[in-house]
Structure 1
Amino acid sequence: MPPDHSLHTLYSDHHSWLKAWLRGKLGNAADAADLAQDTFMRLLQRQEQLQLNTPRAFLRTVARGLVIDHWRREELHRAYLEALAHVPEALVPSVESRELLLELLERLARLLDGLKPKVRQAFLLAQCDGLSHKAIAEQMGISLRSVERYVADALYHCYLLRYEDER
């Protein structure tokens, strides 16, 4: 795409196509419209000038990441509702509390996303199950030093993501 090709032109030339592509992936026009808008919002937030030779391939790449995030959120939401179904009615949180909890779960999932499976497992065993590093090493069949490194890596990863969110 020539350097003078603006985001406005990109939007007007490809928005309908992107929405149709997303509808094919999601099977839902409303979600497709939302993710098409989110795709262009991501592009608006970019600092660098877009100079694209293949705009549809670029848009598809950005949108594909948003689709994966969408599916992940839906799966998390389903798992949360399934867990709530097993809670005694007197203990079921209010609708507002459920939404806040779901938002927190989504933030936690984003924080843990990108961690290698063993790093994530060690971190969750330490933080959620309260296991000692020695117990984690025994359960995972790895050295104590590996557990220490994995937990430290996960904490650093979360710190970096938290720092980026605050900017």
Structure 2
Amino acid sequence: METTANTSDNIITRSYEEYYQVILTYITYRITHRYEAEDLTQDVFVRLLDYKQMLRPDTVKYFLFTIARNIVTDYIR
């Protein structure tokens, strides 16, 4: 049986592998600066760690896009 920490780590690892390019594309589309978009994309995954205990495979995509939207909004301000 996996511990909750291991399960959360696996969810984060899989979500990074699966959604990194999608999140990068979304952010690049919104701000059009590729290097800044790469930095902001990394920030999305770092912030995802704050929600580590709440993550489930069926909600991780929602968290990622919510975090990405908020980071882009803050960046544009």
Give the partner amino acid of 2:21: S
Name the structure 2 match of 1:38. 43
Cα distance in structure 2, aligned partners of 1:26 and 1:46: 25
The 1:37–1:65 alpha-carbon spacing in structure 2 relative to 1, beyond 3 Å, is same
Name which structure has the greater RCO, CA cutoff 8 Å, separation 6+.
2
Aligned AA for 1:43?
Answer: L
Deviates more, 1:22-31 or 1:4-13: 4-13
- Give distance in 2, aligned partners of 1:8 and 1:33: 18
- Length-normalised TM-score, structure 1: 0.38
Secondary structure of 1:42's aligned partner:
helix
Between Structure 1 and Structure 2, which shows a larger proportion of helix residues? 2
Alignment of 1:66-145 (within 5 A): 66-72=71-77
Question: Secondary structure at the residue paired with 1:6?
Answer: helix
**Larger Rg, first or second structure (1 or 2):** 1
Q: Deviations over 1:29-78 (max 9, x none)?
A: 11111111001000123352411415333211111001111011xxxxxx
User: How many corresponding residue pairs?
Assistant: 70
Q: Distance in 1 between matches of 2:66 and 2:13?
A: 19
In 2, distance between residues paired with 1:10 and 1:47?
12
Gaps of 5+ in 2: none
Q: CA RMSD in A?
A: 1.9
Change (3 A) 1:11 1:47: closer
Of all paired residues, the percent bearing the same amino acid is: 29
Matched, 1:64 2:69: yes
Asked if 1:26 corresponds to 2:25, the answer is no
Q: Distance in 1 between matches of 2:31 and 2:71?
A: 11
What is the one-letter code of the residue matched to 1:36?
Answer: T
